[in-house]
Structure 1
Amino acid sequence: MKTPMKHFTGLLLVASLVLSQAGLAQNRLAEKLPIDPHVKIGKLSNGLTYYIRKNIKPEKKVELRLIVNAGSILEDDDQQGLAHFTEHMAFNGSKNFQKNDIVSFLQSIGVEFGADLNAYTGFNETVYILPIPTEKKENVEKAFQILEDWASTVAFDGAEIDKERGVVLEEERLGKGAEDRMFRVTYPKMFEGSLYANRLPIGKAEVIKSFKADVIKRFYADWYRPNLMAVAVVGDMDPAEAERLVKKHFEKLKNPAKEKPRTLADVPARKASEGLVVTDKEATNHVIEIYYAYKKAKEETTLGDYREYLVRRLFTSMLSQRMQELTQKANPPFVFGASSISSWARGFEAYSSFAYISKGGPEPAVQALVQENERARKFGFTPAELDRTKKMLMKSIERAYNERDKTESANLVNEYVQHFLEQEPMPGIENEFNYYKEFLEGITLAEVNQYTAKTIPPVTDNKLVILTGPDKADFKLPSNEELLTMTENAAKADIKPYEEKAIASSLIEKAPVAGKIVSEKSSSNAKDNKSKENNALGITELTLSNGVKVILKPTDFKNDQVVMVASRFGGQYLADPKDRFSAEFASTIVSQMGAGQFSPVDMRKVLAGKNATVTPRIGAISESVSGQCSATDLESMLQLTYLYFTQPREDGELFNSFVTKQQALYQNMASDPQFTFQDSLFKIMYKDHVWAPKLPKPENFAKIDQQKALQFYKERFGNANGFTFVIVGKFDLNTIKPLLATYLGSLPSSAKTSTFKDVGLRPVKGPLKKEVRKGSEPKSFIRLVWNGETTYSDADQFKLQALVELLNIKLIETLREELSGMYGGGMSGSLGKYPYGNYTITASLPCGPENVDKLIAATLAEIDKVKTNGPQEADLNKVKETWKQQYLVNIKDNAFWARQLLQSVEMGSDPAGILAYEKKVDALTLKDLKDTANKYLDTKNYVQVVLNPENN
């Protein structure tokens, strides 16, 4: 027995040890966050910062960024919109590149304008995005010259400025409409008392139309200076060479003698609560938003800050999951709702909530948002919620860590952009993985709940409550004062703690009786041509005892990814036309109700700590399945597949929830001019055919019969015979085969084969011209459609796609750069083989009403040039180079291989063509495209539909 003194001494030793460990922990948390050791950060003598990192995913490509710490918030009153206009002018001439030479050169080396080559302007920054192939050293050198010119010698030629006014005004026009009109009322209230309230990046039309060249040059001279810039170089090039090029091109840049101070705009705290109801006759949805006071965001510099970031992630994830559960009720309070901590204002953040209101009106939505926040604030979360969310976060970081040597350069470079602009921590994935392992498990429920209580503001705090949407006779809107009172009264309800429902711990309690693999074709077991082809493609083909076929391609493209796709012919057209909507939404409804014994919410819970998803779909002429998973969760993905085939779940409450939410979402959609235009286009193109494409409308959802939808789904997925599955990614063939036999080989099957039905649906042919009038804004939209029947071939499909890409280059040059008639738009087209051989080519051109005739004439003129003279060789070479560059990336992408292999089965084409792609590209000729244009683009036989405003 211990003496009292010894016992006391022991307590002192324990206490001393505890205090010592606490001290160590505190010292550890006070440590500064490191910088990712894989990136080199430097600063030139003029203050320009640079980030350089070697990364070989994708190979032979480098991501370049010019990051300017200046945006619309720095504009003078006479410059509103000119930060964004400056970004546009960077592509329209500089010291070393005349007019459109930058875009033309980049297209010639395979960089696609808009898709690869791009830029954006925000309140506080302008970022130029330039991905460059690295095979040719001279192209990389020229790319750095482009960055230098953007940073220092943009020309601002007067004639080019005048041409670009039209392009920027067209970009501004694209944003016009009900949402924009309401936003311009609510946004100044959100940032009342701050410069943010009147510095939207798009600016003011009156400034854009009339500013003098010296005004934009003043902005450029003030803010495009090296000590406000960074250059990021991430990709497959030598870091020493990258640093040499940065120094060569940017060391010589000078800062202005008298620098304007670069300060952050303040956002004052809200002084009182306010309700604001804003309506618009063209609005489509009622939306509720609650904004609490902005506060200065805490800088994250230490390990303790990172640990608190993990606490925040746990809190936001758990609250988000609760909000999602509310949408599963038969009469959900909102279609979608969320709460978060965020901001558009650098250095500030605010707690806010929003919801798309359901059919019940604003009060149930407000009550649900407020009360769910209050529930979390008062009672916190449960141990089960915390445990699940920890598993989910840990799985997420594990996947990122596993892919650390296969992460794309574009993802890495974005971290460096944010580090420069926002001082966002970037300790590197190895360090972050270790922090998760070190801190996550030790975060207690008590501290998460304490964080929640202090983070969610009481509803009595100063706030701005906004309700936007249409003003409809059948929808009672509150006044501003009533909206505010409604919000504050919502917290007075008797709010109970969250109740956790027990669920099963595994997807399938007992594995099904496995089928057999009855045949296998691969290089290892045969010498025929098929197996030789499979060897070249790296694929193995299995046939299972139930008629299911599986194509397997193990890859090392990613370390922790498996992609699955599957399909067979069948589809909605097999249903009785009177049950059209039940058939059309059958797979969506099953996804909403779940599979096995699990609702979607329960499915997420049982899969906590795993990464596996599966989605069944029923299209017009086929049914399909798509899925993805981590390498370690392959069995879970196959189990989900088995459940969706064999045990679609029936749940009347979730069915009613789906119908209610969809009706609420689409009940006012006809007010939107674009919706009306598309709906009219379908009616014009397909007349009154029973299977004509239709946009979602509330009355359509009322026609869905739950039992008929479920029965149709079971008919389509109840017999798996004829399905082909393609699985690509990180897996072992010997390991996956027994899983396939168990979960795919056991799928129900019969000798009955499945095929599609041709229901005679054919679009009208031209010549036909129609006009649709809708909307109050001066906005038009042109749709030109060429279509008809043809004999399908892979070769013709390839040529048609090349023709469309080439015409898009010409439309950008002519309609945008020369005529200043549009901001974005272009052509698309393809051949179809099923249910009949057909082609469709579409030109979609948004513009102003005054430019409709001009753009149509210009489009047809470009088509006629190709038909008469053939394309220019330089333009065809741009298409070829772009496709080759895209192929170099795609050929090492799991999803690309899965799509291509499945498509080869669907179309009956040779999968070896995947490997012959570059030869096909090289073989394209000017004559091919000229002949294709003459075959499919009859400019005397097309359908023209134009949307014009009502009062034009």
Structure 2
Amino acid sequence: EATSSSVAIYVKFDGAKPEDKDLSYLRVSYAANLFNRMMSDRINEILQRGNPPFMSGSISYGGFARGYDILAINATAHPNRMEEALKAIYGEALRVKLHGFTQPELERAKRNIISLMENQWKQQDKIRNDQHIRKMQAHYLQGEPLISVDFEWEYIQEILPGITVEEVSSMAKNWIKNDNRVVIVTGPEKEDVRLLDEETAFAIMTEVEKSTLLPYEEQDLGTNLISEELKGATVVSTRRLEDLQAVEWTLSNNAKVVYKFADFQKDNVILQAFSPGGNSVLDSEELASAAMLGNFMGSFGVGDFDATALRRMLAGKNVGINSSLTSLFETFRGSSSPRDFETLLQLLYLSFERPRFEEEAYEAMRMRLQAAVANMSNNPQKIMSDTLQKIMSGYSERTLIVSPEIFDQFSLSSLEKVYRNRFKDAGDFTFFIVGNIDEESARTLAARYIGSLTDDPRTENWMDDKIRFPKGQTKKQIPITLQTEKATVTVALNKPLEYSPSSNLMLDVFQGILRLRYTEEIREKEGGTYGVSVNAYSERLPLGQKSVVMNFDTDPEKADHLKSIIYREMEKIAAEGPTEEDFDKVVKNLLKDREQAKPNNGYWMSVLINYYQNQYNSDSPENYEGILSKMTREDIRKFAAEFLKGADAVDVVFVPKK
């Protein structure tokens, strides 16, 4: 069931003894981190070029098993191109062994580590208990240093500047060697797949060792992300959203900006934006471009900078942004530290006004994606997922499956056409800023950068794409080729129901109760599966509807019996209501999760997005705590009965092909 072919070279070393894991050991670990980051940057640069020699690759040093470290050289090969993959990845390892790193590479890696550690230091009150436990466990079992975030932040600032490029390059020479190593080749057992044998692998490595490898060369970079003068905009109206403690600004280019101060994560500012339209307004022949757009845009860079140059420009900055198309909206999502918020808005501006579409980067990514999709074509999980997607969308022609054939349905020019069509009208977007930045700074920077975006005087909205859950009862048993003898059961129910805070919460409670029932009845009593997945969905657009999807793996002989319990437990709740114990447990968990979610910047972003897309304040107690406090077991019984009565159903069992 392997989905790809790969080659790895491991060089084994004795790890540091527990008694030797002192501050000097920490210093060495930071130097190893620098090595890993610089190698990752070099490999990412290779992957941006046309026809890259491998699908993915890595060269890194770190722990392997208790008491041992390894230098790991890995490459995932394009189909039947393992020789090329091994030659290229091993060549990169030898290049750094022979010539070392450059000073600019080291400085970028240092800036990135400092940025990461500073963020951890500022957010230390958000570190989860399980993360603390893992550090304690590593200290107890392996003697790893157990130090505070404050100490590590102070120590790394003291020690990192003294780690030189010569020191890290010398470590690379010591790690990349010919003795005490093993070469591992893996791949699918297929007649049309050619794997390396031992003789060929070592012959390739010998060839690389005898070849002439030139030093790595740096590219010259600019100094500013944006070279042009920005016209900016004025704030033409201000509206206070008192219940949300937020403010909405309308700019003179018709863009709306909604701002809320939140410092639950002190080193964090979140930026999101949406505009109605999305895939729904595209013609059928454009859907493949829309579906694949997100896979490519990150490979192109923005403005004057390709992806490699952009990464270098952003070294040491805690910032990132991406665009995406959903069925009904075009969106941006990004985040930064407060210090880098202006850089985040600069990236947003360039994504709108100066996106890049490069042939070489496109061909490189296309080749990698084609190989990945081809490798997945016989994967049982992919086959089942694609089949369910088709069935549950009523086999709509607008439902696209990512298969090898999809690559015949788009091109670089079609990607560019869709992107420029969807992301060109700032006046149709609403932008949201939530985080630890003061209102005046947010307003000034939004007016400068968001205010400089083009306002295309068009009026549009999303369209109903008519994709619907199939009517009535759809029941199928589908044989597929499996290495493991198992059945996969999926039961999905759907019904048009109103979208409201009350009905949404009742669905959430129903979902939680079903999870408890199935754990007790199917997993514990029957011992028929590791667990039943239960997921419920409330949708308002394009029409109000609710869905519950349940799936599990089991012995093929038990599938029908266990599936009957899925229906039995739902019908029992509809007839008798949930038990008091189950009901109380689910409600308490929802309230607990709510309280834990509130002190997070992301929670408040979701509240604002919901307010503008679904027209109600999801933070208001009357829309959550007040509803749950009044909800009864009888309410859930009535809800379940209403939902199940006449609900459309998809009942699919995948079984091993005989």
CA positional deviation for 1:756: 1.0
The answer for the alignment partner of 1:729 in structure 2 is: 435
Aligned equivalent of 1:415, options 119, 129, 135:
135
CA positional deviation for 1:940: 7.9
Q: Is the 8 A contact 1:287 1:467 kept in 2?
A: yes
Which secondary structure state, in structure 1, belongs to the residue aligned with residue 515 of structure 2? helix
Aligned counterparts of 1:892 and 1:538: Cα–Cα separation in 2: 15
Aligned counterparts of 1:933 and 1:551: Cα–Cα separation in 2: 38
Aligned counterparts of 2:551 and 2:277: Cα–Cα separation in 1: 31
Tell me whether 1:542 sits opposite 2:262 in the alignment: no
Q: Is the 8 A contact 1:786 1:938 kept in 2?
A: no
Aligned equivalent of 1:608, options 303, 315, 324:
315
The answer for the alignment partner of 2:29 in structure 1 is: 309
CA positional deviation for 1:853: 1.1
The answer for the alignment partner of 2:464 in structure 1 is: 758
Which structure 2 segments of 5+ residues have no match?
none
The answer for the alignment partner of 2:50 in structure 1 is: 330
Percent same amino acid among aligned pairs? 29
Distance 1:939 1:521, change over 3 A: closer
Aligned equivalent of 2:15, options 296, 299, 309:
296
Distance 1:506 1:296, change over 3 A: same
The answer for the alignment partner of 2:649 in structure 1 is: 942
The answer for the alignment partner of 1:287 in structure 2 is: 6
CA positional deviation for 1:727: 1.5
CA offsets 1:834-869 (integer angstroms, 9 cap, x no match): 122222211111112122012101111111110110
Q: Is the 8 A contact 1:562 1:731 kept in 2?
A: yes
CA positional deviation for 1:343: 4.2
The answer for the alignment partner of 1:30 in structure 2 is: none
Higher mean Cα deviation, 500-509 or 366-375?
500-509
Aligned counterparts of 1:332 and 1:607: Cα–Cα separation in 2: 24
Distance 1:771 1:407, change over 3 A: same
Aligned equivalent of 1:924, options 631, 635, 656:
631
Aligned counterparts of 1:438 and 1:414: Cα–Cα separation in 2: 26
Tell me whether 1:513 sits opposite 2:220 in the alignment: no
Q: Is the 8 A contact 1:511 1:742 kept in 2?
A: no
The answer for the alignment partner of 1:461 in structure 2 is: 179
Distance 1:405 1:762, change over 3 A: closer
Aligned counterparts of 1:519 and 1:912: Cα–Cα separation in 2: 25
TM norm structure 1: 0.67
CA positional deviation for 1:598: 1.6
Higher mean Cα deviation, 725-734 or 293-302?
293-302
Q: Is the 8 A contact 2:288 2:400 kept in 1?
A: no
The answer for the alignment partner of 2:575 in structure 1 is: 868
The answer for the alignment partner of 1:366 in structure 2 is: 86
Distance 1:841 1:406, change over 3 A: closer
CA positional deviation for 1:911: 4.7
**Aligned 1:827-842 pairs, distance under 5 A:** 827-842=534-549
Aligned equivalent of 1:382, options 83, 102, 105:
102
Which structure 1 segments of 5+ residues have no match?
1-177, 179-282, 523-533
Q: Is the 8 A contact 1:809 1:875 kept in 2?
A: yes
CA positional deviation for 1:901: 1.2
Distance 1:346 1:550, change over 3 A: same
The answer for the alignment partner of 2:215 in structure 1 is: 497
CA positional deviation for 1:786: 1.0
Tell me whether 1:879 sits opposite 2:599 in the alignment: no
2:151 maps to a residue whose letter is: N
CA positional deviation for 1:359: 4.3
Higher mean Cα deviation, 471-480 or 432-441?
471-480
CA positional deviation for 1:798: 1.9
Distance 1:551 1:911, change over 3 A: farther
2:551 maps to a residue whose letter is: S
The answer for the alignment partner of 1:114 in structure 2 is: none
Aligned counterparts of 1:938 and 1:477: Cα–Cα separation in 2: 56
2:657 maps to a residue whose letter is: E
Q: Is the 8 A contact 1:406 1:559 kept in 2?
A: no
Aligned counterparts of 1:408 and 1:912: Cα–Cα separation in 2: 24
TM norm structure 2: 0.96
Tell me whether 1:626 sits opposite 2:333 in the alignment: yes
Higher mean Cα deviation, 591-600 or 601-610?
591-600
Aligned counterparts of 1:692 and 1:658: Cα–Cα separation in 2: 23
Which secondary structure state, in structure 1, belongs to the residue aligned with residue 156 of structure 2? helix
The answer for the alignment partner of 2:477 in structure 1 is: 771
CA positional deviation for 1:802: 1.4
Distance 1:871 1:462, change over 3 A: same
The answer for the alignment partner of 2:415 in structure 1 is: 709
The answer for the alignment partner of 2:70 in structure 1 is: 350
Q: Is the 8 A contact 1:765 1:943 kept in 2?
A: no
Distance 1:755 1:480, change over 3 A: same
CA positional deviation for 1:432: 1.4
The answer for the alignment partner of 1:581 in structure 2 is: 288
1:517 maps to a residue whose letter is: V
CA positional deviation for 1:739: 0.2
CA positional deviation for 1:832: 1.2
Which secondary structure state, in structure 2, belongs to the residue aligned with residue 550 of structure 1? strand
1:920 maps to a residue whose letter is: I
Aligned counterparts of 1:296 and 1:685: Cα–Cα separation in 2: 52
1:434 maps to a residue whose letter is: E
CA positional deviation for 1:874: 1.3
Q: Is the 8 A contact 1:333 1:360 kept in 2?
A: no
Higher mean Cα deviation, 877-886 or 346-355?
346-355
CA positional deviation for 1:298: 4.7
1:321 maps to a residue whose letter is: D
CA positional deviation for 1:596: 0.9
CA positional deviation for 1:414: 2.9
CA positional deviation for 1:552: 1.3
Which secondary structure state, in structure 2, belongs to the residue aligned with residue 466 of structure 1? strand
Aligned counterparts of 1:911 and 1:689: Cα–Cα separation in 2: 33
Aligned counterparts of 1:501 and 1:878: Cα–Cα separation in 2: 59
CA offsets 1:430-467 (integer angstroms, 9 cap, x no match): 221222221111221111111121122x2x32432222
Q: Is the 8 A contact 2:50 2:364 kept in 1?
A: yes
Which secondary structure state, in structure 1, belongs to the residue aligned with residue 65 of structure 2? coil
Tell me which structure has the larger Cα radius of gyration.
Answer: 1
CA positional deviation for 1:511: 4.5
Tell me whether 1:675 sits opposite 2:399 in the alignment: no
CA offsets 1:453-487 (integer angstroms, 9 cap, x no match): 1122x2x3243222222244544333343234334
Aligned counterparts of 1:387 and 1:395: Cα–Cα separation in 2: 12
The answer for the alignment partner of 1:903 in structure 2 is: 610
Q: Is the 8 A contact 1:588 1:617 kept in 2?
A: no
Which secondary structure state, in structure 2, belongs to the residue aligned with residue 593 of structure 1? coil
Aligned counterparts of 1:589 and 1:402: Cα–Cα separation in 2: 33
Q: Is the 8 A contact 2:469 2:648 kept in 1?
A: no
Which secondary structure state, in structure 2, belongs to the residue aligned with residue 721 of structure 1? helix
**Aligned 1:846-865 pairs, distance under 5 A:** 846-865=553-572
Aligned counterparts of 1:288 and 1:657: Cα–Cα separation in 2: 20
Distance 1:406 1:849, change over 3 A: closer
Distance 1:934 1:431, change over 3 A: same
2:6 maps to a residue whose letter is: V
